[in-house]
């Protein structure tokens, strides 16, 4: 397993940013951009038709990128330095967490540093975005979050051999992966690579119950008591399929 860091090109960066700034995107998702870049006017942007909003954001974020170019380059160097002590321990930690030998997989991962405070991933090329203003230790934690997704879907595909298009938003397999990163990282040697942040998964998941039990307690028991890693995957997927309507309703309420 190997990760390199480089700057995300602006056009790709803005495409992912605008994906979360459409008319039908919940405010919960939209607002993070404006907290990250206070020079952007949230109320003004929301008053614009979507096409004009996209123009406003693109023009202003281009200026921000140009103004912050030196800071972005410096962040890449800091992220590389913070990652260096983790890199040599990555294979062992993930091999233990996923019950497989990870030394020969995912040697092409890339952390793309840019303006987006939301950190999207691209499973087609094992890349993910990282906000340049992150503390280096938090950037490492975010990298481990995304690497856990990559490893999860690598093992999932080896076992299920299903359609990789279902691994992305808004499919149920994507949603399950957003839950299990907390379970796998918190309860494995991955947590020893760097202190995990308070919230590894989306914050609102931590207050959600299913059948009167916190969802992460349920998933932790499945993971700890697994007969094999595919057994955990199958058990977790059966659980989320059964409880999908309730879980999606609670997410929709949380994202209002």
Q: What is the pLDDT of residue 52?
A: 98
pTM of whole model > 0.85? yes
Displacement of CA 256 from its chain's centroid (Å) = 20
Q: Where are the domains of the chain?
A: 3-254
> In this predicted structure, what is the pLDDT of residue 133?
98
Collect the ranges in the chain with pLDDT lower than 70: none
Look up residue 67 and give its two tokens. 């103004």
| Angle, in degrees to the nearest 10, between helices 50-67 and 69-87 | 80
Q: What is the pLDDT of residue 256?
A: 87
> Distance (Å, rounded) from C-alpha 49 to C-alpha 98?
46
Contact 17, 112 (CB under 8 A): no
What is the reported pLDDT for 131? 98
Beta strand 127-131 pairing with 209-210:
unpaired
Residue 169 burial (CB < 10 Å; 0-12/13-18/19+)?
exposed
């Amino acid at each position: 397993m190997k990760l390199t860091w480089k700057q995300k090109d602006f056009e790709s960066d803005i495409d992912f940013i605008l994906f979360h700034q459409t008319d039908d995107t919940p405010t919960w998702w939209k607002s993070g951009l404006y907290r990250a870049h206070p020079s952007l006017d949230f109320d003004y942007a929301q008053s614009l038709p979507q096409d004009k909003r996209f123009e406003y954001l693109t023009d202003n974020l281009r200026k921000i990128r140009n103004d912050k170019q030196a800071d972005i380059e410096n962040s890449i160097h800091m992220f590389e330095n913070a990652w260096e002590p983790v890199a040599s321990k990555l294979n062992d930690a993930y091999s233990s967490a996923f019950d497989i030998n990870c030394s020969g997989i995912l040697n092409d991962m890339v952390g793309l540093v840019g303006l987006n405070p939301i950190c999207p991933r691209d499973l087609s090329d094992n890349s993910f975005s990282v906000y340049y203003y992150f503390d280096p230790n938090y950037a490492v934690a975010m990298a481990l979050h995304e690497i856990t997704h990559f490893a999860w879907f690598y093992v999932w595909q080896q076992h299920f051999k299903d359609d990789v298009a279902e691994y992305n938003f808004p499919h149920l397999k994507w949603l399950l992966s957003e839950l299990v990163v907390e379970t796998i990282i918190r309860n494995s040697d991955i947590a020893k690579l760097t202190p995990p942040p308070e919230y590894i998964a989306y914050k609102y998941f931590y207050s959600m119950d299913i059948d009167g039990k916190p969802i992460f307690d349920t998933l932790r028991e499945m993971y700890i008591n697994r007969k094999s890693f595919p057994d955990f995957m199958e058990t977790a997927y059966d659980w989320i399929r059964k409880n999908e309507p309730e879980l999606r309703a609670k997410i929709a309420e949380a994202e209002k």
